[in-house]
């Protein structure tokens, strides 16, 4: 049921992931999530075209009541878009008592109630559609500003002019484990940090920002002066370490972290490096809450990302005011955002991509150069992307998707199937789906797994049902209208080895997911199947084990025995092209891939957009640039700073190539475009080489 017949409303404004992560999936996050602490849930709401967050109203709320908190930047948006728009929010569930196990129902009814004013506005103005809420991992209450707080930047102070006539350029880094007192971020004189702002989203609130706290250049300099040079003391005493929902070491206390590497590669000045140019770079950093919170069970990070962009652009205005006397001065901003995602529709239409894109476009529209740099992803040869040819389904025979779950996986596994909704419900293609466990057992479902491609309102749920094996719930099947273009089938399976052994486990092994077209118009395009990333982010150990498509026709290795660098034969289900980072497929992002430093050849893992005819320039959804992501096949990774001044470590992946390109864009030192490489496949995978 998608719509309540009496009210004409969707009873739930959240999507399939939310119904899982805040529903039955929550139990599986038990070790990392303290359920009694779930009160503040950040998220992203996607509004129909023409609607604005201010349409939710600034309704009064009483202390302890549930609230939907938007920042002034969000509420101040005036321009009504002709497209759906995405906005970050913070949901405060209020002082309500224990919310488990009916948490998702509480959330949905709360969102329903808080959306009343918006719905009134939509209906008064004849706008079709509903708000669609995406929920992220809850924030520990100690992080959250109970007054709501604003995403804002405090005034900046001017530095010595870099060189006459040249504008500073702002490099912004969104990452985990930002070593804000690192010497490589200092100016050439070694006196003051170039890190003008650093928002630590996972730190204890200082009651200014909506969550966490930020440090300004003056504060970082003061900390360095008061506690230096012992950087352990600086971090321990700054009060700026992450509040960890479970327990663990704050990321900046590891030897080397993703963020320390990335910020150094993007904007660092190692001792001895020519200094004049790098002083042109002012730095803004946003440290995300620890990945251990974010990546546990399929929660997104949308709100953190969108708030980060808002913050960065506000900081850029303050820096412009301080350095140029005019907050509208067109300071270039280059944002490096080294995060990837393997799910999504891959056409730029996912809600988060829309949010990212809209923010970059809005700043560009003010005449301020803005570049969002993101990695292409590392899943080229990870067997997480498959395509079912249209012909294989049009014949009416079932196509079995071979999905292999690993043993000892402590986290759930997710499979997405992306089907384009058709414009007209008449003769829309209809499907059925059948699941077979590795043991050969057939799980049961309360409802038959049948659906079609008839258009529905965004967010509408066509089917949402438990998957039961031996009477125990081991997963969830849902089909919903994700946006105006796409229907998404989501299959969520519980861990094969739950941390809480009393919970049901999914058998590991090869699952058969048989998709069958049962009627309606033939398909004209292949159907994309995508597995969500399920391995541990760098520096974390939460017990994820990556599931794969176990396709016998997947030619993983080339004739020379090396991992394949090219596409599979047409009759293979697994595809290596089309694996591009699923939150970097829109037209306002610069996508960076990686190559081996010694040979200049694409790495075995660097993801790529779809194959395209030789000579055709890259567009949205393609790789635009590439840089070194491994020194060689034998010496993996590139070297950049660890968390403490003077340390360095190797990190591999397109994540480390992106900041090398961001740096060159910021400094204007990209080499001239070389003649196109001979190998057309490499040209698609690598785009323009930046070094």
Partner 1 sequence: MQSAEGLVIAAQAIRHAAGKDDDGAQAVGAYPHLPFPSHSNMPLWAGWVRNSLYVTDFIRDFDWTPGKRKKSGGGTVAFEGIELTYGRKPFLTLHRPSADLFRKQLVYVRNYADQRADRFSEIVTQVGYPTDYFATILGLQNGVHAHCFELIAATQAIASQVEMIPKHHLACLRPDRRGANVMPMIPTPAHGSFPSGHATEAFAVAIVLAGLVRTLNARPPAKRPYPLAEPLINLLYKQAERIAVNRTVAGLHYPIDTWAGAALGEALGELILAKCQGGKAAWRGYQAEDSDFLIADFRNPKPMQSGHTLIHGLERAPAAIPISKSPLFEWLWKKTLDEFKP
- Tell the burial category of 560 from Cβ atoms under 10 Å away from its Cβ (0-12, 13-18, 19+): exposed
What is the smallest separation between the CB atom of 251 and partner 1, expressed in angstroms?
9
Residue 283 — φ and ψ, nearest 5°? -120, 140
Nearer of residues 145 and 253 to partner 1, judged by Cβ: 253
User: Does residue 328 bind partner 1 (CB under 8 A)?
Assistant: no
Contact present, 245 and 34 (Cβ < 8 Å): yes
User: Does residue 249 bind partner 1 (CB under 8 A)?
Assistant: yes
User: Does residue 207 bind partner 1 (CB under 8 A)?
Assistant: no
Nearer of residues 646 and 676 to partner 1, judged by Cβ: 646
Binder of partner 1 out of 5, 63, 247, 571 (CB under 8 A): 247
Nearer of residues 190 and 676 to partner 1, judged by Cβ: 190
Nearer of residues 226 and 441 to partner 1, judged by Cβ: 226
Helix H or strand E segment including 360: helix 351-365
User: Does residue 233 bind partner 1 (CB under 8 A)?
Assistant: yes
User: Does residue 34 bind partner 1 (CB under 8 A)?
Assistant: no
Q: Which stretch binds partner 1 (CB under 8 A): 213-221, 227-235, 386-394, 564-572?
A: 227-235
Q: Which stretch binds partner 1 (CB under 8 A): 68-76, 168-176, 236-244, 530-538?
A: 236-244
- Tell the burial category of 516 from Cβ atoms under 10 Å away from its Cβ (0-12, 13-18, 19+): middle
Q: Which stretch binds partner 1 (CB under 8 A): 123-131, 181-189, 247-255, 521-529?
A: 247-255
Q: Which stretch binds partner 1 (CB under 8 A): 33-41, 253-261, 485-493, 660-668?
A: 253-261
What is the smallest separation between the CB atom of 540 and partner 1, expressed in angstroms?
9
Taking each continuous run of H as one helix and of E as one strand, the counts in the chain are: 13, 27
Binder of partner 1 out of 255, 407, 423, 587 (CB under 8 A): 255
Reference 108, options 495, 349, 461; nearest CA is 461
Contacts of 290 (CB under 8 A, 6+ apart): 176, 202, 242, 244, 248, 250, 251, 540
Q: Which stretch binds partner 1 (CB under 8 A): 188-196, 249-257, 380-388, 504-512?
A: 249-257
Total residues binding partner 1 (CB under 8 A): 15
What is the smallest separation between the CB atom of 29 and partner 1, expressed in angstroms?
17
Interface of this chain with partner 1, residues 491 to 550, rule: CB under 8 A:
541
Alpha carbon separation from 663 to 117, 313, 429, 492, 560 (Å, rounded): 45, 18, 48, 39, 36
Interface of this chain with partner 1, residues 409 to 438, rule: CB under 8 A:
none
Nearer of residues 413 and 643 to partner 1, judged by Cβ: 643
What is the smallest separation between the CB atom of 629 and partner 1, expressed in angstroms?
22
User: Does residue 9 bind partner 1 (CB under 8 A)?
Assistant: no
| Residue 484 CB neighbours (<10 A) | 16
Residue 394 DSSP SS3: helix
Strand intervals (E) in 612-666: 625-630, 638-641, 648-651
User: Does residue 230 bind partner 1 (CB under 8 A)?
Assistant: yes
Contacts 24+ apart (CB under 8 A), 119-128: 119/9, 121/51, 121/55, 122/48, 122/51, 122/55, 125/50, 127/48, 127/49, 127/50, 127/51, 128/48, 128/457
Residue 688 DSSP SS3: strand
Contact present, 661 and 632 (Cβ < 8 Å): no
What is the smallest separation between the CB atom of 34 and partner 1, expressed in angstroms?
13
> Residue 668: left (phi > 0), alpha (psi -120 to 50), or beta?
left
What is the smallest separation between the CB atom of 200 and partner 1, expressed in angstroms?
17
Would you state the structure tokens that stand for residue 602, as one six-digit string? 């694409």
Binder of partner 1 out of 35, 80, 152, 227 (CB under 8 A): 227
Strand intervals (E) in 421-484: 430-436, 444-445, 450-452, 461-469, 472-481
Q: Which stretch binds partner 1 (CB under 8 A): 110-118, 233-241, 388-396, 483-491?
A: 233-241
What is the smallest separation between the CB atom of 519 and partner 1, expressed in angstroms?
54
Would you state the structure tokens that stand for residue 398, as one six-digit string? 């079932």
Interatomic CA distance for residues 273 and 578, integer angstroms: 39
Nearer of residues 517 and 542 to partner 1, judged by Cβ: 542
Contacts of 7 (CB under 8 A, 6+ apart): none
Contact present, 220 and 332 (Cβ < 8 Å): no
Q: Which stretch binds partner 1 (CB under 8 A): 194-202, 246-254, 392-400, 654-662?
A: 246-254
Instruction: Report the 3 state secondary structure along 476-516.
Output: EEEEEECCCCEEEEEEEECCCCCCCCCCCCCCCEEEEEEEE
What is the smallest separation between the CB atom of 409 and partner 1, expressed in angstroms?
20
| Residue 128 CB neighbours (<10 A) | 11
Binder of partner 1 out of 75, 236, 390, 681 (CB under 8 A): 236
Nearer of residues 232 and 587 to partner 1, judged by Cβ: 232
What is the smallest separation between the CB atom of 254 and partner 1, expressed in angstroms?
6
Strand intervals (E) in 25-123: 40-47, 67-69, 85-92
What is the smallest separation between the CB atom of 631 and partner 1, expressed in angstroms?
22
Binder of partner 1 out of 37, 232, 326, 598 (CB under 8 A): 232
What is the smallest separation between the CB atom of 238 and partner 1, expressed in angstroms?
12
Nearer of residues 237 and 328 to partner 1, judged by Cβ: 237
Interface of this chain with partner 1, residues 260 to 299, rule: CB under 8 A:
none
Nearer of residues 30 and 57 to partner 1, judged by Cβ: 30
Residue 216 — φ and ψ, nearest 5°? -100, 170
Interatomic CA distance for residues 666 and 547, integer angstroms: 38
Would you state the structure tokens that stand for residue 125, as one six-digit string? 């103005």
User: Does residue 237 bind partner 1 (CB under 8 A)?
Assistant: yes
User: Does residue 258 bind partner 1 (CB under 8 A)?
Assistant: no
What is the smallest separation between the CB atom of 534 and partner 1, expressed in angstroms?
20
Under the rule (CB under 8 A), what is the footprint of partner 1? 227, 229-230, 232-233, 236-237, 244, 247-249, 253-255, 541
């Amino acid at each position: 049921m998608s719509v309540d017949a009496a009210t004409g409303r969707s009873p739930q404004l959240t999507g399939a992931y939310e119904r899982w992560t805040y529903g039955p999936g929550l139990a599986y996050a038990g070790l990392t999530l303290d359920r009694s602490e779930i009160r503040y849930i950040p998220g992203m709401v996607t509004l129909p075209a023409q609607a604005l967050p201010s349409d939710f109203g600034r309704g009064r709320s009483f202390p302890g009541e549930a609230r939907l908190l938007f920042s002034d930047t969000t509420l101040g948006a005036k321009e009504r878009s002709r497209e759906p728009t995405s906005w970050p929010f913070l949901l405060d569930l209020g002082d309500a008592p224990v919310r488990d196990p009916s948490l998702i129902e509480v959330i949905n009814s709360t969102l329903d109630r808080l959306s009343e004013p918006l719905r009134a506005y939509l209906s008064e103005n004849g706008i079709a559609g509903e708000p669609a809420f995406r929920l992220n991992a809850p924030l520990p209450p100690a992080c959250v500003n109970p007054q709501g707080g604003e995403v804002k930047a405090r005034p900046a102070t001017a530095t010595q002019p870099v060189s006459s006539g040249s504008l500073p350029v702002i490099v912004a880094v969104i990452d985990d484990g930002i070593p804000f007192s690192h010497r490589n971020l200092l100016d050439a004189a070694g006196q003051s940090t170039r890190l003008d702002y650093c928002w630590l989203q996972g730190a204890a609130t200082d009651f200014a920002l909506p969550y966490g706290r930020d440090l300004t250049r003056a504060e970082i300099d003061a900390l360095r002066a008061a506690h230096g040079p012992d950087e352990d003391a600086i971090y321990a005493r700054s009060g700026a370490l992450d509040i960890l929902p479970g327990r663990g070491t704050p990321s900046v206390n590891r030897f080397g972290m993703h963020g320390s590497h990335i910020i150094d590669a993007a904007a660092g000045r190692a001792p001895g490096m020519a200094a004049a140019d790098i002083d042109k770079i002012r730095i803004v950093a946003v440290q995300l809450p620890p990945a251990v919170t974010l990546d546990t069970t399929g929660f997104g990070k949308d709100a953190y990302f969108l708030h980060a962009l808002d913050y960065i652009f506000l900081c850029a205005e303050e820096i412009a005011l301080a350095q140029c006397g005019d907050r509208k001065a067109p300071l270039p901003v280059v944002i490096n955002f080294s995060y990837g995602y393997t799910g999504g529709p891959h056409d730029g239409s996912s809600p988060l991509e829309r949010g990212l894109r809209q923010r970059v476009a809005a700043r560009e529209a003010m005449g301020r150069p803005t570049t969002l740099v993101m990695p292409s992803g590392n899943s080229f040869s990870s067997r997480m992307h498959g395509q079912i040819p249209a012909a294989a389904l049009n014949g009416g025979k079932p196509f079995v998707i071979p999905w292999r779950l690993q043993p000892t996986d402590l986290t759930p596994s997710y499979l997405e199937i992306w089907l384009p909704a058709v414009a007209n419900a008449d003769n829309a293609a209809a499907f059925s789906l059948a699941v077979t466990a590795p043991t050969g057992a057939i799980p049961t479902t309360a409802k038959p797994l049948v659906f079609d491609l008839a258009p529905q309102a965004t967010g509408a749920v066509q089917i949402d049902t438990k998957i039961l094996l031996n009477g125990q719930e081991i997963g969830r099947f849902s089909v919903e209208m994700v946006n105006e273009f796409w229907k998404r089938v989501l299959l969520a399976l519980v861990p094969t080895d739950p941390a809480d052994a009393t919970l049901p486990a999914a058998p590991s092994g090869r699952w058969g997911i048989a998709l069958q077209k049962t009627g309606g118009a033939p398909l004209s395009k292949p159907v994309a199947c995508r597995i969500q990333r399920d391995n541990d982010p760098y520096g974390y150990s939460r017990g994820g084990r990556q599931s794969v498509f176990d396709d016998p026709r997947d030619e993983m290795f080339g004739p020379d025995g090396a991992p394949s660098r090219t596409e599979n034969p047409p009759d293979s289900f697994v595809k290596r092209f089309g694996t591009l980072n699923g939150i970097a497929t829109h037209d306002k992002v610069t996508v960076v891939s990686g190559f081996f430093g010694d040979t200049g050849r694409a790495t075995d893992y660097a993801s790529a957009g779809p194959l395209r005819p030789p000579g055709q320039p890259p567009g949205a959804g393609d790789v635009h640039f590439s840089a070194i992501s491994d020194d060689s096949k034998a010496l993996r990774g590139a070297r950049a700073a660890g968390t403490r001044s003077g340390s360095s470590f190797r990190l591999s992946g397109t994540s480390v190539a992106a900041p090398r390109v961001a740096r060159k864009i910021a400094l204007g030192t990209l080499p001239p475009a070389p003649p196109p490489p001979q190998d057309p496949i490499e040209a698609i995978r690598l785009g323009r080489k930046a070094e």
